Structure 1
């Protein structure tokens, strides 16, 4: 117990007793008893209204009353109360306090005060603190305990998501704990999670408090998704039907489809992503069942695959080796010779090649060669079933291989031989003309043949024709009657100079209209060589187009059409104000502008080159300073001219001489035309 006294007023004093009467170690509090009393010596009073209080820790204990102190050396109790005071977090506590008694004049005491004092409480031994470093799920962490007394014992507990449990009991200052692997199940979408470590402190078998620390734990690198592998198939049914061999594909034809097998997350994670690639080829897919794209290459390659999960973890990759067989389009060339006693049999010299597609030593592709013959100048082909035709499984090329057609093809007529080479995927064709039997000179009742048997017209010449040692023009640019040649198939494939009439629907028509196409080439007719040409097209609707064929051996290598149709300029009109309510009209066509004042009666002040607030709008400004001279008349009298000065930046200035009319009004009329360089107005 401690005793504290106030100041002295005529023998009056107050006394404060403070006594610590109890402690709650778990709650970290003490119970303190305050007793305040009024004492006197030989001065007395009675029935005065008085008050008193004790202040501590932000609290106040109050008293009021009308005491009677009629005897000498008397003591009157005022306040007797026990309160609870919280200790600091370290278990220590010293608090300040004050007390005061107030009388009400006369014989009662003037203010009696106790102040400037403090009272220490007995320290409370506090619960131990805990710390733990970040850890990895499945690995051990050390939990460190900072205890306040060497006699304290501890129980260590955890809470992680919905999981809780005791880690260790009867612990002194530390314990080691392996974070359970199943903690990862609670964080399926994250690589880290947090929980709480609790330490209960016991003193003499009684728990005196609990403190906690946050546990941050990461999913170990070993916890990543897995999959058993990938199954590769060919999204091209045609290629799949030909090869029929696992992980073997065909250049250009195949497109590898990837199916991921047995994909599974780890400790609660879900599969969220897929990736497969052809290593080194920048061809990938990112979904199950996706394709890797057309392969314009051949050889042995690696398909590498992996999966990812909801934590963003990627699995180990798995590799599959694939074979891409070389493929190229069939190539074909034939030469035709007349043979036999009457030169009516045709011998074919065959040069043909297909991609063999060898799998396990066996050819999987088939070469098929077919011949058809038509009279020259017609498209009336008949299939020839002679030994030159055939279908081979074990043969992929023929080199200068001779074989005859079965038919009889008269020597006095020209023919066209069409050869078609096919494999399992595509085909190509080759046409070869067969002229009539070669002779020096022939004739019949219809005409003369030079260098050949006569077939066509009155004069049928095999070879160039010369006159006066110069070769004459022998190329047909138009139809026989001078009309353009008709095109109803594909204008992009034209390779013969001339004049053509285009059907609206043919490929290469630039505007879908009937029209006239002119084809020019410095190489003339394209005969197995480079082609460079231009085409112009006049549509029946008046549109004009131009395009250029690049220097190339490709028949259809055209640049886009360019529209050169003359554009009609539009007329644009504006009404503007040019000061004092005077209206004018602007008219622009092409780069010519006309400004015309609307005739009217106006009263305008005299000025010399005065600036106006109005402007010439964009699109109509003059390219040089321009002056609109305006006539002024009143009835039949002329009163000079006013001038509007038009500046290149759109400013307007005004000049006007003194007006001599009776009332100042005059009729104003005027027009000016000038050139503008402004952008065309909308």
Structure 2
């Protein structure tokens, strides 16, 4: 509402009110109430002919009459009309207004005027609203328009990334639009993007306004990265040289390397990752050129590959069928018999086998067998290149195959024959001791042989020795100098033999772990399921024990540590020791600390025990309750507090004259 006043003539004035009453959005108009009144103060008149008018928005509202204004400070209403005012095409509207009153002279007023004023109406929305649901790039969406006037027309535009254009023109209330596929180029790192839909509203060819709505669109599932394929090779050069077929590999020996080719993103995306796996084997690589790991199995397998792009989309998978040839280490055993007229020829009965690694019926592996011989007890071996040795490329097995060694091996001497069987990858050895020619009894100037030709010592016996129908000890318990036998520092912890040895932290089962140092390892066994082990770490002077039970497991696991009474850092066992205050004592046994106290309350806080920090250092704050003697019903109970990282016990808010006597126990 607005009001306007005229000039003053002997206390007469006119007053103009303009009110916006309502609006009609569809008609683009407003209803305006116009009121004009005459007011006086101390001058009055009656029956004079008068006239008045109000001009606004190109029209005039008139009034004529002969009013009676006989009272002072009174008001006479002249005009009160409601009119319709049309708005501009864009919904705005302002108009000027003026008013006038004319009397007839005498006691009536002269001319009273209002001019030079304007009034602005509330702008009527003239742009239609727009709505649109989430869409999929490459698929149609419907754009819905809610218009203010059925005569309105619309132009629909889009803005997406650096793209913009017109979707449709001369639209009434809706339009269907297929989101262009190239919109995906603007969101290479996401599956969802956002743009803007604009709707320009036109009334009679004049644009009256624009409204917009956010367009959310996702990349369709069909847009994903691609790759032309992948190839397989063997990262083990030796295996690849034996089996050059790119789809054939060797168990345990091969490690498949995967190389991707032709990987490409789609609609702006880039390749960010690779994935290849052996289906069902939990072996995979995420690197182009990576390896899939050792295959401890044989048969047909499937290698499956795919790529991923910057949107996180995976390509379709591609498969390659692969054959893994069975492989096992060379297996060799043989026996030797003395033959010939002088028993100096050694005939070898050979049993050997290597993995054939057959491809298309052709063996790719070779079998090579060699022998070397030394006198029993000697360290230097001499190769024997006789008929028993050989290399075969067409067979992979020898079964009870006999052949002679080339050398002359005297019947009165014992020999060690070592055979070595190797293929393209690994090698194994087998040793046989060849005794002297068998005799019941022999002797020479150096000693006697029983059941064999004498070779070593004053008495050289083949077989067990009995005394009083009982076998004597057949195995050496100590070394010749009396020291105990050592098992070898690099033997496993679990070796089931009675040994004494040195160990360090290179062994995974070291009781202290990587921080441990060299120590003495004692290993005692009664049979395959009863054993005990002891270890002394020389770096820290610590001692450990464990035993093997009939459940075939170590107890305790992994070790149990011995702790000595002179090591307060690990355990402290003492008699009752003064705790720093009269009649207070402490005692620690293992993980248990006991504090004995006897003191009288003074009405305040009392520290009654101070434990050395090497005996007890509180890992957290503690609060205990102790009772006062001679007070019933718990009225004398108080709290005892121990703060974290201290060893001092405080009695809180003690009762004056009350005795506190007892013992506290703390698990450390």
Normalising by structure 1, we get a TM-score of 0.70
Aligned to 1:24: 88
For structure 1, which runs of at least 5 residues remain unmatched after alignment? 43-69, 90-125, 524-530, 554-558, 598-603, 626-646, 658-673
**Does the 8 Å CA contact 2:597/2:608 hold for their aligned counterparts?**
no
**Does the 8 Å CA contact 1:502/1:515 hold for their aligned counterparts?**
yes
Aligned to 1:600: none
1:84 aligns with 2:120: yes
Task: Determine the C-alpha separation between the residues in 2 that align with 1:178 and 1:497.
Answer: 82
Q: How does 1:6-21 map to 2 (within 5 A)?
A: 6=37, 9=40, 11=69, 13=76
Aligned to 1:613: 606
**Does the 8 Å CA contact 1:373/1:383 hold for their aligned counterparts?**
yes
Q: How does 1:7-156 map to 2 (within 5 A)?
A: 9=40, 11=69, 13=76, 23-26=87-90, 28-35=91-98, 72-89=108-125, 126-156=126-156
* CA deviation profile, 1:72-96 (whole Å, cap 9, x unmatched): 232311344123323333xxxxxxx
- Bigger mean CA deviation after superposition, 447-456 or 490-499: 490-499
CA 1:40–1:296: 2 relative to 1, 3 Å? farther
* CA deviation profile, 1:373-405 (whole Å, cap 9, x unmatched): 122123322211111112222221211111111
CA 1:8–1:532: 2 relative to 1, 3 Å? same
Q: What secondary structure, in the 3-state scheme, does the structure 2 residue paired with 1:485 have?
A: coil
Task: Determine the C-alpha separation between the residues in 1 that align with 2:373 and 2:464.
Answer: 26
Q: How does 1:123-202 map to 2 (within 5 A)?
A: 126-202=126-202
CA 1:484–1:501: 2 relative to 1, 3 Å? farther
Task: Determine the C-alpha separation between the residues in 1 that align with 2:641 and 2:211.
Answer: 85
CA 1:389–1:480: 2 relative to 1, 3 Å? same
Task: Determine the C-alpha separation between the residues in 2 that align with 1:477 and 1:128.
Answer: 106
Shift, 1:505, TM fit: 10
**Does the 8 Å CA contact 1:442/1:454 hold for their aligned counterparts?**
yes
Aligned to 1:96: none
CA 1:585–1:471: 2 relative to 1, 3 Å? closer
Task: Determine the C-alpha separation between the residues in 2 that align with 1:287 and 1:477.
Answer: 57
* CA deviation profile, 1:479-518 (whole Å, cap 9, x unmatched): 2232233565634399795665659899799865475745
**Does the 8 Å CA contact 1:15/1:39 hold for their aligned counterparts?**
no
* CA deviation profile, 1:209-262 (whole Å, cap 9, x unmatched): 333333332212211111111122222222222211112111112222222211
Shift, 1:436, TM fit: 1.3
Q: How does 1:432-471 map to 2 (within 5 A)?
A: 432-471=432-471
Aligned to 1:568: 566
Q: What secondary structure, in the 3-state scheme, does the structure 2 residue paired with 1:241 have?
A: helix
Task: Determine the C-alpha separation between the residues in 2 that align with 1:241 and 1:532.
Answer: 49
Task: Determine the C-alpha separation between the residues in 2 that align with 1:161 and 1:21.
Answer: 44
Q: How does 1:200-211 map to 2 (within 5 A)?
A: 200-211=200-211
Q: What secondary structure, in the 3-state scheme, does the structure 2 residue paired with 1:240 have?
A: helix
Q: How does 1:506-517 map to 2 (within 5 A)?
A: 513=518, 515=520, 517=522
* CA deviation profile, 1:147-198 (whole Å, cap 9, x unmatched): 4455443333222221111222333443332221111111112222222223
Shift, 1:316, TM fit: 0.9
Task: Determine the C-alpha separation between the residues in 2 that align with 1:19 and 1:173.
Answer: 32
**Does the 8 Å CA contact 1:384/1:405 hold for their aligned counterparts?**
yes
Aligned to 1:275: 275
CA 1:411–1:41: 2 relative to 1, 3 Å? farther
Q: How does 1:429-578 map to 2 (within 5 A)?
A: 429-485=429-485, 490-492=490-492, 500=500, 502=502, 513=518, 515=520, 517=522, 519-522=524-527, 534-536=532-534, 544-546=543-545, 564=562, 566=564, 568-570=566-568, 578=581
* CA deviation profile, 1:75-128 (whole Å, cap 9, x unmatched): 311344123323333xxxxxxxxxxxxxxxxxxxxxxxxxxxxxxxxxxxx344
Aligned to 2:35: 4
Task: Determine the C-alpha separation between the residues in 1 that align with 2:488 and 2:233.
Answer: 43
**Does the 8 Å CA contact 1:168/1:175 hold for their aligned counterparts?**
yes
For structure 2, which runs of at least 5 residues remain unmatched after alignment? 1-31, 45-68, 70-74, 617-621, 627-639, 643-648
Aligned to 1:255: 255
Shift, 1:568, TM fit: 3.1
How many residue pairs get aligned? The number is 560
Task: Determine the C-alpha separation between the residues in 1 that align with 2:558 and 2:150.
Answer: 93
CA 1:364–1:86: 2 relative to 1, 3 Å? same
CA 1:656–1:153: 2 relative to 1, 3 Å? closer
Task: Determine the C-alpha separation between the residues in 2 that align with 1:380 and 1:506.
Answer: 32
Task: Determine the C-alpha separation between the residues in 1 that align with 2:197 and 2:35.
Answer: 47
Shift, 1:298, TM fit: 0.9
Q: What secondary structure, in the 3-state scheme, does the structure 2 residue paired with 1:183 have?
A: helix
**Does the 8 Å CA contact 2:255/2:292 hold for their aligned counterparts?**
yes
Task: Determine the C-alpha separation between the residues in 2 that align with 1:284 and 1:76.
Answer: 99
**Does the 8 Å CA contact 1:354/1:423 hold for their aligned counterparts?**
yes
CA 1:562–1:258: 2 relative to 1, 3 Å? farther
Task: Determine the C-alpha separation between the residues in 2 that align with 1:615 and 1:260.
Answer: 77
Task: Determine the C-alpha separation between the residues in 2 that align with 1:513 and 1:211.
Answer: 82
Q: What secondary structure, in the 3-state scheme, does the structure 2 residue paired with 1:616 have?
A: strand
Q: How does 1:583-602 map to 2 (within 5 A)?
A: none
Task: Determine the C-alpha separation between the residues in 2 that align with 1:170 and 1:21.
Answer: 29
Q: What secondary structure, in the 3-state scheme, does the structure 1 residue paired with 2:232 have?
A: strand
1:236 aligns with 2:231: no
**Does the 8 Å CA contact 1:227/1:263 hold for their aligned counterparts?**
yes
**Does the 8 Å CA contact 1:478/1:499 hold for their aligned counterparts?**
no
Shift, 1:306, TM fit: 1.2
Shift, 1:611, TM fit: 8.9
Task: Determine the C-alpha separation between the residues in 2 that align with 1:210 and 1:509.
Answer: 79
Shift, 1:25, TM fit: 1.1
- Bigger mean CA deviation after superposition, 28-37 or 382-391: 28-37
Task: Determine the C-alpha separation between the residues in 2 that align with 1:263 and 1:81.
Answer: 75
CA 1:538–1:222: 2 relative to 1, 3 Å? closer
Aligned to 1:666: none
Task: Determine the C-alpha separation between the residues in 1 that align with 2:495 and 2:603.
Answer: 70
**Does the 8 Å CA contact 2:585/2:609 hold for their aligned counterparts?**
no
Q: What secondary structure, in the 3-state scheme, does the structure 1 residue paired with 2:395 have?
A: coil
Shift, 1:560, TM fit: 6.3
Alpha-carbon RMSD across the aligned residues, in angstroms, is: 4.5
CA 1:239–1:493: 2 relative to 1, 3 Å? farther
